[in-house]
Structure 1
Amino acid sequence: MEEALGQVPGFMEPLAEPASDHSWGLFRDLVLGETELSAREKALVGLSAAAVTKCPYCTYFHKEEARLTDVTEEEIEETITVASNTQYFSTILHGNEYDHDEFVAETDEIVEYVSEQEEAAADD
């Protein structure tokens, strides 16, 4: 941990064993490791989750992580706005107990329509 981060962060110290090893492993492998997502993409995903969960610690961390990957301030703002949009509609869907099967069917129809429109535009 110290080699990768330059220190052992204080927030890792109160984790009981074996949670500390597992927690560091998850962080190291998912956030710092080479995965299907780029470091930039992972920073934006982390920022989205942090903003929606309203965690000031994670929000600060993931904003700084994003800046390390050359994410612009405008992209940070847009990421947070997209995250809030998702949370907004999730609240509407859950609060109104919208039928999940109907939602899936409508989404599938929308995806099919948009795909057909994109194919038609590409053919023009």
Structure 2
Amino acid sequence: MEWASRVMSAVSRASGNNTVINVCLIGSFVALSARSMSQQRDIETLDAEKESLLKANKSMKKAMWDWKQQLFAEASTDSPLVPLSNLKAIYGESSTLQSAEDAEKGDAKSPASKILI
């Protein structure tokens, strides 16, 4: 019990002393500043990663668009490997009923399309 009373008297003396209060406030400020700097570094790292992911995503979209255009160009030739109607159905550029009818016609005309299916 004597130990508890000593601690209480030390706390009451320290609470009246401005130096102790100022040291505690400065320590809190330093701790919060360190945490803030750490969080700012994390945010900057995540922003850089976001930018690189956006660039990669744009380049993938462009590559997929180029491949799609190349497929459509190859399908519009005289002897396509995959009929244009099938490609339009895959990419959702025609109605499913029409594409099913066109696919049946395309399968009957092109033996190469039977190999792929």
Give the TM-score normalised by structure 2. Answer: 0.25
Per chain length, whose mean CA-contact separation is higher, i.e. which structure has more relative contact order (CA < 8 Å, sep 6+)?
1
Structure holding more helix per residue: 2
From the CA coordinates, give the structure whose radius of gyration is larger.
Answer: 2
Give the TM-score normalised by structure 1. Answer: 0.24
